[in-house]
């Protein structure tokens, strides 16, 4: 009854909104569920005036499925435009499945810029959908707690669906529950978020006598490289407004080498980072990054200080040394300076290898590109070096209103049942859109089909991850290391999602974020002047002042809610 009331309310809201539009009035936009992580593989698209007009399947909507010989059509909402080559891929898919699952795909290709708002409207108004792309940075945080998505627990760890059972372990699915419901099918190729590294000119480092034949192996060597770049009239480190020094001196900013093994992980809300220490299944303490060493006194030995805030002091030191692009706060594309030879380095992940290898062709020397993996244990390819919550940044959901859940899950089971099936959907037709490489586990893209489709929004899975054949030598070794399950270590707490949907709590989050926004960008650039124009003697002082103000403006309410929810979750 509660769900029916929600759907009815959604329908009334949709009708009201349509009436307002016809009479020239505008309604409120859908609630913002958060932006994607900095290197989430999501790209902006141009608005499509009629995204619903580019479907590819027939209108046959048989309901009983292959058991009765009738074809079932499932309706899919996909984030991103239809890729060139899809029609041929779809024809091959139908040929392969007509005598088995017999499921047709009616795909609605929605432009990136339109997707978030369209998804919210369609789901809350009870639209006719069987499979939709969603993520915590789209609408998942808003829709999952309200029961708009079906619980799919019966389809996983189930021998009747061997493809799903093989591709999604019990631990992974438990870690991807949302508010007690297994309503989210995670899409990822690796349990991490890319091996972090600094890209630089290895030929210059070699000429300057830095590193091992130009291979930088430490922060000390990196700083020597930046110093020499400045002496040669270059910018040491190119950075964009959004990133600054980004995730250096950490794994990604939200994790540090050895933290997971010590029982430490983080949750972010309202622009604050809450560090959580658990032991033996119980919450020991929570401390806010930047709040001061005294608040970490109950953390384990070696972590009982404001450890995460210390890296910003290094950023400030690098800023004073002049390493960073002086125009970093206004730069939108730091790759331009790196490619042209104006800047000596940029930050990224190993995923950028193909892009920056093309820069090396511009420089005229294939060996001129270097990368410094700045986390020691990752650089040494140690097992258990990268912490993970085993949660997907992107995934599929099945709306609770779907009448074709079995057929939908049969399609997904088919796609994840073999390398051949998976690669047809993700990479296209073998010999036309892609070819397998000579080295096992590699491939070569022939057309743009795979990049246009975006595997992150359709088919990514660790079982079937292939490496672009352009990865060679050390880069290939790191990529292979990244795909090994033993490379990762799980956090103590898996599957916990902080629910901020309560009206009062969401207001507190917004009030808190209005304060933390004053330092969120400048601290990444090592700048000790906040958005209000207040200057500080040190980064520590600026962060402490900002955190204190944020806690007094909603932050304490967020802290208390997080603590209560986490304790309740652990008690289960």
In this prediction, residues 100-112 reach a mean pLDDT of 97
Same domain? For 366 and 396 the reply is no
> How confident is the model over 168-196, as pLDDT tens digits?
999 999 999 998 999 999 999 999 888 99
Tokens of 50: 């009629």
> How confident is the model over 339-356, as pLDDT tens digits?
999 999 999 999 999 999
Strands (E), 247-302: 264-269, 272-279, 282-288
- Which of 388, 418, 447 delimits the end of a domain? 388
Tokens of 411: 């399609």
In the predicted model, what is the mean pLDDT of the chain? 89
- Dist. CA 223–CA 212, nearest whole Å: 15
> How confident is the model over 495-541, as pLDDT tens digits?
999 999 899 999 999 999 999 999 999 999 999 999 999 999 999 99
Query: In the block, which residue shows the tokens 């990368």?
Result: 371
Determine, yes or no, domain membership for 373: yes
Give the model's pLDDT for residue 201: 98
Tokens of 150: 């079906």
In this prediction, residues 212-218 reach a mean pLDDT of 97
Which residues, in sequence order, are CB contacts of 333 under 8 Å at separation 6+? Answer: 240
Q: Tell whether the model's pLDDT for residue 317 goes beyond 70.
A: yes
Same domain? For 227 and 291 the reply is yes
The lowest-confidence range among 41-45, 244-248, 259-263, 536-540 is 41-45
- Dist. CA 96–CA 423, nearest whole Å: 13
Q: Tell whether the model's pLDDT for residue 257 goes beyond 70.
A: yes
In this prediction, residues 311-335 reach a mean pLDDT of 96
- Dist. CA 112–CA 42, nearest whole Å: 8
Give the percent of the chain with pLDDT over 90. 86
Total domains in the chain come to: 3
* Best CA proximity match to 187, nearest among 35, 387, 397, 385: 397
Same domain? For 398 and 369 the reply is no
In this prediction, residues 359-374 reach a mean pLDDT of 94
Determine, yes or no, domain membership for 94: yes
How many Cα atoms are found within 13 Å in the side-chain-facing hemisphere of 80?
A: 18
Same domain? For 181 and 243 the reply is no
Determine, yes or no, domain membership for 306: yes
Give the model's pLDDT for residue 63: 35
* Best CA proximity match to 323, nearest among 347, 296, 350, 301: 347
Which residues, in sequence order, are CB contacts of 531 under 8 Å at separation 6+? Answer: 517, 518, 519, 521, 522
Query: The domain spanning residue 326 has which CATH number?
Result: 3.40.190
Q: Tell whether the model's pLDDT for residue 55 goes beyond 80.
A: no
> How confident is the model over 220-240, as pLDDT tens digits?
999 999 999 999 999 999 999
Strands (E), 153-271: 185-187, 196-201, 264-269
Determine, yes or no, domain membership for 228: yes
- Please check whether residue 512 is in contact with residue 271, taking contact to mean a CB–CB distance below 8 angstroms: yes
Q: Tell whether the model's pLDDT for residue 476 goes beyond 90.
A: yes
- State the DSSP H helix or E strand holding residue 133, giving kind and residue range, or none if neither: strand 131-134
Beta bridge partners of residue 79, listed in sequence order: 110
Same domain? For 147 and 276 the reply is no
> How confident is the model over 276-292, as pLDDT tens digits?
999 999 999 999 999 99
Which residues, in sequence order, are CB contacts of 552 under 8 Å at separation 6+? Answer: none
- Dist. CA 292–CA 288, nearest whole Å: 8
Give the model's pLDDT for residue 31: 31
Same domain? For 208 and 281 the reply is yes
Per-residue pLDDT band at 572 (split at 50, 70, 90): confident
Residue 491 exposed, middle or buried by CB count within 10 Å (0-12, 13-18, 19+): buried
Determine, yes or no, domain membership for 381: yes
- Please check whether residue 526 is in contact with residue 539, taking contact to mean a CB–CB distance below 8 angstroms: yes
Same domain? For 364 and 323 the reply is yes
Same domain? For 399 and 372 the reply is no
- Dist. CA 194–CA 373, nearest whole Å: 11
Give the model's pLDDT for residue 68: 52
For the entire predicted model, the pTM comes to 0.83
Same domain? For 377 and 398 the reply is no
* Best CA proximity match to 143, nearest among 80, 188, 77, 193: 77
Give the CA angle between residues 134, 140, 141 to the nearest 5°. Answer: 160
Determine, yes or no, domain membership for 496: no
- Which of 388, 404, 432 delimits the end of a domain? 388
Give the model's pLDDT for residue 3: 41
Q: Tell whether the model's pLDDT for residue 34 goes beyond 90.
A: no
> How confident is the model over 124-150, as pLDDT tens digits?
999 999 999 999 999 999 999 999 999
- Which of 388, 412, 447 delimits the end of a domain? 388
Give the model's pLDDT for residue 53: 34
Query: In the block, which residue shows the tokens 């660790």?
Result: 462
In this prediction, residues 447-471 reach a mean pLDDT of 96
- Dist. CA 73–CA 407, nearest whole Å: 8
Residue numbers of the domain that contains 561? 503-571
Tokens of 507: 């207001």
The lowest-confidence range among 63-72, 284-293, 537-546 is 63-72
Determine, yes or no, domain membership for 522: yes
Query: The domain spanning residue 65 has which CATH number?
Result: 3.40.190.10
Same domain? For 321 and 375 the reply is yes
Beta bridge partners of residue 347, listed in sequence order: 198
- Dist. CA 211–CA 280, nearest whole Å: 43
Determine, yes or no, domain membership for 553: yes
Tokens of 64: 């009983």
Same domain? For 350 and 335 the reply is yes
Q: Tell whether the model's pLDDT for residue 20 goes beyond 80.
A: no
In this prediction, residues 197-209 reach a mean pLDDT of 98
Same domain? For 163 and 65 the reply is yes
Q: Tell whether the model's pLDDT for residue 32 goes beyond 90.
A: no
- Dist. CA 26–CA 47, nearest whole Å: 19
Give the model's pLDDT for residue 192: 87
- Please check whether residue 530 is in contact with residue 489, taking contact to mean a CB–CB distance below 8 angstroms: no
């Amino acid at each position: 009854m509660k769900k029916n009331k929600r759907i009815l309310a959604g329908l009334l809201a949709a009708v009201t909104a349509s009436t307002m539009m016809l009479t020239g009035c505008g309604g409120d936009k859908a609630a913002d569920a958060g932006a994607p992580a900095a290197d989430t593989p999501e790209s902006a698209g141009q608005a499509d005036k009629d995204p619903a007009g580019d479907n590819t399947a027939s209108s046959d909507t048989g309901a009983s499925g292959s058991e009765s010989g009738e074809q079932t059509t499932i309706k899919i909402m996909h984030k991103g435009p239809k890729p060139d080559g899809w029609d041929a891929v779809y024809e091959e898919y139908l040929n392969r499945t007509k005598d088995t699952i017999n499921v047709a795909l009616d795909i609605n290709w929605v432009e990136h810029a339109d997707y978030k708002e369209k998804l919210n409207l369609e789901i809350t108004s009870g639209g006719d959908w069987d499979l939709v792309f969603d993520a915590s940075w789209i609408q998942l945080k808003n829709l999952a707690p309200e029961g708009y998505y079906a619980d799919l627990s019966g389809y996983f760890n189930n021998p009747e669906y061997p493809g799903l059972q093989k591709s999604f372990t019990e631990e992974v699915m438990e870690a991807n529950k949302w508010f007690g419901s297994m309503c989210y099918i995670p899409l990822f190729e690796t349990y991490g978020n890319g091996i972090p590294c600094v890209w630089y000119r290895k030929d210059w480092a070699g000429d300057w006598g830095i590193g091992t034949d130009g291979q930088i192996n430490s922060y000390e060597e990196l700083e020597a490289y930046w110093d020499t770049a400045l002496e040669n009239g270059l910018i040491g480190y190119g950075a964009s407004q959004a990133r600054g020094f980004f995730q250096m001196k950490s794994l990604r900013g939200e994790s540090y080498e050895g933290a997971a093994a010590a029982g430490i992980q983080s949750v972010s809300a309202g622009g604050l980072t809450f560090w959580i220490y658990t032991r033996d299944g119980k919450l020991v303490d929570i401390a806010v990054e930047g709040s001061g060493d005294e608040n970490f006194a109950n953390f384990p030995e070696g972590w009982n200080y404001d450890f995460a805030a210390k890296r910003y002091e290094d950023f400030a030191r690098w800023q004073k040394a002049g390493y960073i692009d002086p125009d970093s706060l206004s730069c939108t594309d730091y790759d331009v300076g790196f490619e042209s030879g104006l800047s000596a380095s940029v930050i990224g992940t190993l995923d950028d290898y193909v892009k920056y290898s093309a820069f090396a062709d511009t420089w005229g020397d294939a060996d001129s590109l270097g990368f410094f993996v700045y986390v020691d244990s990752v650089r040494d390819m140690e097992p258990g070096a990268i912490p993970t919550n085993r949660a997907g940044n992107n995934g599929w959901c099945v709306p609770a209103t779907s009448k074709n859940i079995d057929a939908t899950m049969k399609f997904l089971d088919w796609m994840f049942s073999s390398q051949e099936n998976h690669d047809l959907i993700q990479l296209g037709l073998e010999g036309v859109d892609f070819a397998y490489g000579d080295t096992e586990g590699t491939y070569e893209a022939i057309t743009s089909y795979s990049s246009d489709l975006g595997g992150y929004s359709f088919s990514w899975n660790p079982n079937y991850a292939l490496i672009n054949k352009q990865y060679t030598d050390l880069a290939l070794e790191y990529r292979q290391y990244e795909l090994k399950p033993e490379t990762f270590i799980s956090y103590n707490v898996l599957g916990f999602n902080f629910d901020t949907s309560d009206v009062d709590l969401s207001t507190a989050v917004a009030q808190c974020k209005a304060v933390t926004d004053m330092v969120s960008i400048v601290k990444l650039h090592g700048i000790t002047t906040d958005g209000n124009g207040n200057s500080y003697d040190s980064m520590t002082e600026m962060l402490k002042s900002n955190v204190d103000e944020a806690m007094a403006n909603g932050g304490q309410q967020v802290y208390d809610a997080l603590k209560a929810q986490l304790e309740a979750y652990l008690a289960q």
